[in-house]
Amino acid sequence: MPGRTRARWPHRPRVATAPSQRQSMNPDPDHGHAHQESLESLLDLYATTLLPALDRFPMPAWITDSRGQVRWANACTGQMFGRTTGVHFSNLIARERVNDARELFARKVLGSTDATVHKSVLASRGTRLSVEMTSVPLHSDGSVVGVLTISRPEEAAPVAQPAPPPDLTPRQHETLEYLAHGYSTTEIAGRMQVAEDTARNHIRSLLRELGVHSRLEAVVKAFRSGWL
């Protein structure tokens, strides 16, 4: 319609100019700039669709660029941490959990793993919050340009008895741990020192035992049941 401009989501920040408080993931400035522009385009695309929904989430959610700097955060994140735009995501996480979070982030940026779910702890202003952190890479033109992270606070122990742990073999337990760390079939095979087909068989056996259909379902079920 003539005379109208495209609406922009009010919580959508501009590109941050604040320096990262930790070393960036990408040492190539030209490459990083291209990824920033790609992520900027994605955020523009999501401005009236995905971002408004995420902003209403009653749990912290943020989007980082490929260097780990926060480019967008929802209202819940702002209430807990204040302004986070331009801050490295590792500054939102308790110090003892930072190394694990950085490793999983690097694996997503490098394309060696996809969505992951793991337990972590957010820390701000003397407050600590144990969470189940789900992260997924954002792709543009075949490259990872950012990562979306949603942190669900861990619930208090339910009154009802939790589900008993499954009767897993040692190999299945080992496989479950590797899946929780986001390792690929090739990486699991290497760590187990077995053929890839053997690793796939261990994964299929684990999924059958847990009654799930995907690796992510297996990890989510294990975390929520307290098996990991």
pLDDT tens digits, 54-94: 888 888 999 999 999 999 999 999 988 889 999 999 999 99
**Do 35 and 134 sit in the same domain of this protein?**
yes
**Do 140 and 33 sit in the same domain of this protein?**
yes
Domains of the chain: total: 2
**Do 87 and 196 sit in the same domain of this protein?**
no
Q: What is the C-alpha to C-alpha distance for residues 154 and 75, in angstroms, rounded to an integer? A: 19
What's the whole-number mean pLDDT along residues 127-135? Answer: 89
**Do 118 and 60 sit in the same domain of this protein?**
yes
User: Is position 10 within any domain?
Assistant: no
Contact status, residue 166 vs residue 206, Cβ threshold 8 Å: no
Rounded to 5°, angle at Cα 114 from 112 and 119? 110
User: Is position 218 within any domain?
Assistant: yes
Mean pLDDT, rounded, of the chain: 79
User: Is position 52 within any domain?
Assistant: yes
**Do 128 and 191 sit in the same domain of this protein?**
no
User: Is position 6 within any domain?
Assistant: no
Q: What is the C-alpha to C-alpha distance for residues 123 and 121, in angstroms, rounded to an integer? A: 6
What's the whole-number mean pLDDT along residues 105-114? Answer: 88
Q: For residues 215 and 63, which has the higher predicted lDDT (pLDDT)?
A: 63
User: Is position 164 within any domain?
Assistant: no
Strand, coil or helix: what is 47? coil
**Do 104 and 197 sit in the same domain of this protein?**
no
User: Is position 4 within any domain?
Assistant: no
Which CATH number does the domain housing residue 102 bear? 3.30.450.20
Q: What is the C-alpha to C-alpha distance for residues 97 and 209, in angstroms, rounded to an integer? A: 30
Looking at the whole model, is its pTM more than 0.75? no
Residues of the domain holding 184: 170-224
Q: For residues 50 and 61, which has the higher predicted lDDT (pLDDT)?
A: 61
* Of 105, 123, 153, the domain-final residue: 153
Contact status, residue 12 vs residue 72, Cβ threshold 8 Å: yes
**Do 148 and 206 sit in the same domain of this protein?**
no
Does residue 44 carry a pLDDT above 80?
no
**Do 121 and 175 sit in the same domain of this protein?**
no
Q: State the CB neighbour count (10 A cutoff) for residue 113.
A: 19
User: Is position 206 within any domain?
Assistant: yes
Where does the pLDDT of residue 32 fall: very low under 50, low under 70, confident under 90, or very high at 90 and above?
low
**Do 196 and 114 sit in the same domain of this protein?**
no
Instruction: Specify the pLDDT at position 160.
Output: 44
Does residue 223 carry a pLDDT above 50?
yes
**Token pair belonging to 142:** 């075949």
Where does the pLDDT of residue 10 fall: very low under 50, low under 70, confident under 90, or very high at 90 and above?
very low
**Do 81 and 133 sit in the same domain of this protein?**
yes
Where does the pLDDT of residue 164 fall: very low under 50, low under 70, confident under 90, or very high at 90 and above?
low
**Do 35 and 68 sit in the same domain of this protein?**
yes
Which CATH number does the domain housing residue 207 bear? 1.10.10.10
